Structure 1
Amino acid sequence: MGDVIAFKRPSLKEKHKGNSLCRSNHHKWEVINDTPFDSQQGGLVTCYRCKRCGKTKNKAQ
């Protein structure tokens, strides 16, 4: 039989770090420079991704 390894359980502070802000729509947006041009609308598009939860949004200029 194999050895049993005891893992440290994360505290509540570590478990919910940054999650409550994103659930309240207070995201930390950063610009993604992968797709700067939208061919269907013919304009520039800025893509944003939240650093905490990974949600993305697009903004046409």
Structure 2
Amino acid sequence: MGDVVPFKKPLRKSPNRGMCQHGFHKWVVCKEKQFDVKQGRLVTVYRCQRCGKEKVTAH
């Protein structure tokens, strides 16, 4: 009979991103930057809590 080899569970490549890899971000309003100088109007900056990606919407 052969030797029994214990297999390890494969690790995730980026454990901190989690669901963000599939487009499920957790958007939170970032209040540091509320005015866009180039456009000259108020903007809302959203930052993902998990991966740090940002998206901007203008009013």
| Residue segments in structure 1 that go unaligned for 5+ positions in a row | 1-11
1:26 is matched with: 24
Do the aligned partners of residues 22 and 41 (structure 1) sit closer, same or farther apart at CA in structure 2, a change above 3 Å counting?
A: same
* AA in 2 matched with 1:41: Q
Q: Which TM-score applies when normalising by structure 2?
A: 0.66
* Structure 2 partner of 1:16: 15
Report the 3-state secondary structure (helix = DSSP H, G, I; strand = E; otherwise coil) of the residue aligned with 1:45: strand
For residues 1-61 of structure 1, what are the structure 2 equivalents within 5 Å?
12=11, 16=15, 19=18, 21-61=19-59
Whose helix proportion is higher, 1 or 2?
A: 1
In 2 relative to 1, CA 34–17 (structure 1 residues): closer, same or farther, beyond 3 Å? closer
Sequence identity of aligned pairs in percent? Answer: 46
Name the CA shift for 1:17/1:37 in 2 (closer, same or farther; >3 Å).
closer
Alignment partners' CA distance in 2, 1:48 and 1:24: 18
Task: Name which one, 1 or 2, has greater alpha-carbon Rg.
Answer: 2
Structure 2, unaligned stretches of length 5 or more?
Answer: 1-10
